[in-house]
Amino acid sequence: MPLSARIVRGLQDSGLELYAPRFAALSDADFLTMLMSDYARYGVVDVEDKQRLFRLLKALNEEVRNRSRGGGGQRAVTNELLDLDAHDGDLLAHACGPAMQLSPMQEVRAVAEAVEEPDTPADPPKIRVVVRKRPLNKKEKDKGEDDIVDANMQRAYVVVNEVKVKVDLTKYIDRHQFNFDDALDDSVSNEDVYNVTVKPLVHTLFANGKASCFAYGQTGSGKTYTMNPLPIRSAADIMQYLALPKYQHLNLYVSCFEIYGNKVFDLLNARKKLNILEDGKKRVVVVGLKEYNVASVEKLKSLINQGAGQRSTGSTGANADSSRSHSIMQFALKEGGEDGKLASKISFIDLAGSERGADTFDNDRQTRLEGAEINKSLLALKECIRALDSDARHVPFRGSKLTAVLRDSFVGATARTVMIANISPNSASVEHTLNTLRYADRVKELRKDKAQRDPGGVTPGEDPNYYAAVARADEEAEAVKKPSKPILRAGGGQRAGGPNKVTDSAANGGGRGSPGGSDEDEILSEHNKMLDTILEEEELLITAHRMHIEETMELVRSEMNLLTEVDQPGSAIDQYVNRLDKILKQKLEGVAMLQAKLERFKGHLQKEEMITTTMRPNKKR
Ligand code: ADP
Ligand code: MG
């Protein structure tokens, strides 16, 4: 179809009529979407003519767009110049693909208010800590490893029999006992685990409470084995409640995401990277997280499989990478539709392998940073749970991404948490097992204090011990924010005091003996600080980069306006020169600022690399 009369007239008006026959074979759409690089094909090589043609296309496209805005028709797009108006804020998404997300601020939706109701007598305690031992596996048996863990289910304690060697090479057993709310041995089924952990939380959910269930432990200790069946199993119970007339107004929504390093990915939406932002009320919102309405256990099963399939897996096998990420499945009960009021929520959290915090001196930087982030998040998590239990006013949610996004599962008088500490029974895992038990012990330690003081579990009244304990929790929370102690020093030294005297400066660090002199301590401390700085700066740099692009686009917009204006008859060239000068200066300043940030960041990366190199020979001691 030949060009329409409107376009032919446009060519004439622009003094381009001599090219008209060359365009004759084109349709209107082809003509309008022509790129500047195509001009030569139609004989338009003269610079002035190229500019004329460019301007004509721009004007025609604008006209088409205006018309289609009014009439809802198709948009014509010019590809040569980024047409900012046409793309609105989505331009970068078009230009750079889905990996790039722009202006997430605009997307923040306020989350529903937490609904708080008085406790009912049937409520589970605020925090329960349950330990689960897995059986020795074939590989461990083949290696002739011993089962060194005894779980006493009746009396709810575990004993770790650590084999030690004296100076004269005689062996002896160091016995470590830890008490928990429940101790589950390797004969216990997943159904039993459900009954003692999540089942009581379903009640919480229908009492408008928030609930969370964590699996903590080293890689291979059974976290995923333990966590995987829990959401589906609980859904069966939840559906029963939902079927009651009383709860007809509630709907179940499911979401699932993964925190890897300090990034968040939607596991039910092709691993889309999500942004975490604060809304107007300083609450953290995971922007754009996909939620599915689930009305049957079958539908939930398919979603869970989808989520599990999307979890990070590397070439070295599923556990290698999933052990470096926290995966979180959330069930929300809402009144009405997706945007309905949030009534309650339960989160199932399969934490990153607790030994990962000790990745700090691994060869590549990415692994080191991930290790530092995991360390930080597990420490912050412990402090949040402790603060929750003590009703402390200051809860250090901001300590990590993990705790920030779980904030709304912790707040409110009705929040309930179950921590499952998974442990391996084999002798080679003894350090990790002890570290896990110490961590779990610390989580519930504060409550134990309270129980001793106040057996009835009523309010502490004027008991000064209570307030001392709360203050201690707060202090430790502060210490998490500004780690002044070397994070890696968890291995040795602490064991002798027994579980209750442990002052763990970290959740992890297992396997590597305690570093020697204070020089080394200093280097470790410096390294930890550096990793923290890098993690923070990385985020700031990326945010600054995003903002820089937005500013650049704003400037390009001004430049385009400027060009349009200068083409108008009677435009003042002085004004054009001044404004262009200003725009170019602004551009240069923007680039210089971003570059300065980048250089500083690069400097810190280098410094971290240097510290690592200094430390590396010690690793293999
Ligand atoms: P993690 O998620 O902590 O890295 P997994 O859940 O993947 O560990 O468990 C490691 C291996 O041990 C898996 O093959 C799993 O099937 C097995 N396993 C874990 N716990 C148990 C258990 N209680 N009974 C039988 N096998 C288990
Ligand atoms: Mg796992």
Nearest CA to ligand 1 atom 20: 222
Place of tokens 């349950």: 130
Is 327 close to ligand 1, i.e. is its CB under 6 Å away?
Answer: no
Is 223 close to ligand 1, i.e. is its CB under 6 Å away?
Answer: yes
- Is residue 321 pLDDT above 70, yes or no? no
Nearest CA to ligand 1 atom 19: 222
Is 228 close to ligand 1, i.e. is its CB under 6 Å away?
Answer: no
Q: Is 219 annotated as a binding residue?
A: yes
Cβ neighbours around 85 below 10 Å, total: 10
More confident residue, 507 or 93: 507
More confident residue, 492 or 477: 477
Structure tokens at 529: 């600080």
Q: How confident is the model at residue 584 (pLDDT cuts 50, 70, 90)?
A: very high
Ligand 1 closest atom vs CA 217? 3
Please enumerate, as own/partner, the contacts of 305-312 that have beta carbons within 8 Å and a separation of 24 or more: 306/267, 306/268, 307/256, 307/267, 307/268, 308/228, 308/267, 310/258, 310/265, 310/267, 310/268, 310/270, 310/271, 311/258, 311/267, 312/258, 312/260
- Is residue 361 pLDDT above 70, yes or no? no
Structure tokens at 125: 């305690």
Q: How confident is the model at residue 519 (pLDDT cuts 50, 70, 90)?
A: confident
Crossing angle for the helix pair 573-619 and 365-390, nearest 10 degrees?
A: 90
590 vs 4: CA distance, rounded Å: 44
Cα-to-centroid distance, 393 and ligand 2 (Å): 33
26 vs 28: CA distance, rounded Å: 6
Residue 177's pLDDT is what? 94
- Is residue 100 pLDDT above 50, yes or no? no
Cβ neighbours around 504 below 10 Å, total: 19
The full set of domain ranges for the chain reads 5-89, 127-457, 464-514, 517-620
The DSSP bridge pattern shows strands 210-216 and 341-350 to be: parallel
Place of tokens 């009581």: 200
Q: Is 435 buried (19+), middle (13-18) or exposed (0-12) by CB count in 10 A? A: buried
- Is residue 286 pLDDT above 80, yes or no? yes
Q: What is the DSSP letter of 137?
A: -
Is 176 close to ligand 1, i.e. is its CB under 6 Å away?
Answer: no
Residue 147's closest CA among 492, 498, 436, 430? 430
Lowest mean pLDDT among 161-165, 374-378, 382-386: 382-386
Summarize the confidence of residues 144-162 as an average pLDDT.
94
Task: State pLDDT tens for residues 393-410.
Answer: 677 777 788 988 888 787
DSSP states along 198-215: THHHHHHHHTT-EEEEEE
Ligand 1 closest atom vs CA 215? 3
Is 382 close to ligand 1, i.e. is its CB under 6 Å away?
Answer: no
Summarize the confidence of residues 430-438 as an average pLDDT.
94
Task: State pLDDT tens for residues 6-32.
Answer: 888 889 888 898 888 888 888 888 888
CATH class of residue range 5-89: mainly alpha
Nearest CA to ligand 1 atom 5: 222
Is 319 close to ligand 1, i.e. is its CB under 6 Å away?
Answer: yes
Q: Is 307 annotated as a binding residue?
A: no
Q: Please enumerate in sequence order all residues whose Cβ is within 8 A of that of 147, keeping only pairs 6 or more positions apart, or say none.
A: 136, 425, 426
Cα-to-centroid distance, 350 and ligand 2 (Å): 7
Cβ–Cβ < 8 Å for 392, 380: no
Cα-to-centroid distance, 216 and ligand 1 (Å): 13
Q: How confident is the model at residue 146 (pLDDT cuts 50, 70, 90)?
A: very high
Q: Is 479 buried (19+), middle (13-18) or exposed (0-12) by CB count in 10 A? A: middle
Residue 383's pLDDT is what? 83
273 vs 263: CA distance, rounded Å: 7
Residue 3's closest CA among 55, 16, 22? 22
Ligand having the closest approach to the CA of 226 = 1
- Is residue 495 pLDDT above 50, yes or no? no
DSSP states along 61-81: HHHHHHHHHHH--PPP---SS
Residue 51's pLDDT is what? 78
Task: State pLDDT tens for residues 460-487.
Answer: 333 344 334 444 444 544 444 443 333 3
Signed CA dihedral, 503, 505, 510, 516: sign only: negative
398 vs 482: CA distance, rounded Å: 12
Lowest mean pLDDT among 192-201, 226-235, 256-265: 256-265
Residue 97's pLDDT is what? 31
Is 323 close to ligand 1, i.e. is its CB under 6 Å away?
Answer: yes
Summarize the confidence of residues 349-364 as an average pLDDT.
78
Cα-to-centroid distance, 463 and ligand 2 (Å): 42
Write out the residues surrounding ion ligand 2, Cβ under 5 A. 223-224, 322
Is 425 close to ligand 1, i.e. is its CB under 6 Å away?
Answer: no
Q: Is 391 helix (H, G, I), strand (E, B) or coil?
A: coil
Q: How confident is the model at residue 176 (pLDDT cuts 50, 70, 90)?
A: very high
Nearest CA to ligand 1 atom 16: 225
DSSP H/E element including 583? helix 573-619
Is 354 close to ligand 1, i.e. is its CB under 6 Å away?
Answer: no
399 vs 378: CA distance, rounded Å: 10
436 vs 473: CA distance, rounded Å: 19
Q: How confident is the model at residue 320 (pLDDT cuts 50, 70, 90)?
A: low
Mutation choice for ligand 1 from 189, 225, 322, 327, CB with most ligand atoms inside 8 A: 225
Structure tokens at 474: 């707060």
Residue 362's pLDDT is what? 60
- Is residue 82 pLDDT above 70, yes or no? no
505 vs 141: CA distance, rounded Å: 34
Q: Is 223 annotated as a binding residue?
A: yes
Ligand having the closest approach to the CA of 311 = 2
Q: Is 268 helix (H, G, I), strand (E, B) or coil?
A: coil
Ligand 1 closest atom vs CA 323? 4
- Is residue 190 pLDDT above 90, yes or no? yes
Q: How confident is the model at residue 517 (pLDDT cuts 50, 70, 90)?
A: low
Nearest CA to ligand 1 atom 11: 220
Summarize the confidence of residues 427-439 as an average pLDDT.
94
Q: What is the DSSP letter of 313?
A: -
Q: Is 309 annotated as a binding residue?
A: no
Strands (E), 238-297: 250-260, 263-266, 272-278, 284-287, 292-293
Structure tokens at 60: 């025609």
**Multiple choice CATH, 127-457, 3.40.850.10, 1.10.540.10, 1.10.10.10, 3.30.70.260:** 3.40.850.10
Q: How confident is the model at residue 174 (pLDDT cuts 50, 70, 90)?
A: very high
Cα-to-centroid distance, 188 and ligand 1 (Å): 13
Place of tokens 């090589």: 45
DSSP H/E element including 178? strand 171-179
Cα-to-centroid distance, 536 and ligand 1 (Å): 34
> What Å distances lie between residue 522 and 55, 151, 415, 485, CA to CA?
65, 39, 40, 9
Residue 330's pLDDT is what? 94
Structure tokens at 383: 């402090």
Mutation choice for ligand 1 from 132, 134, 190, CB with most ligand atoms inside 8 A: 134
Percentage of the chain surpassing pLDDT 90? 33
Residue 211's closest CA among 245, 234, 236, 239? 234
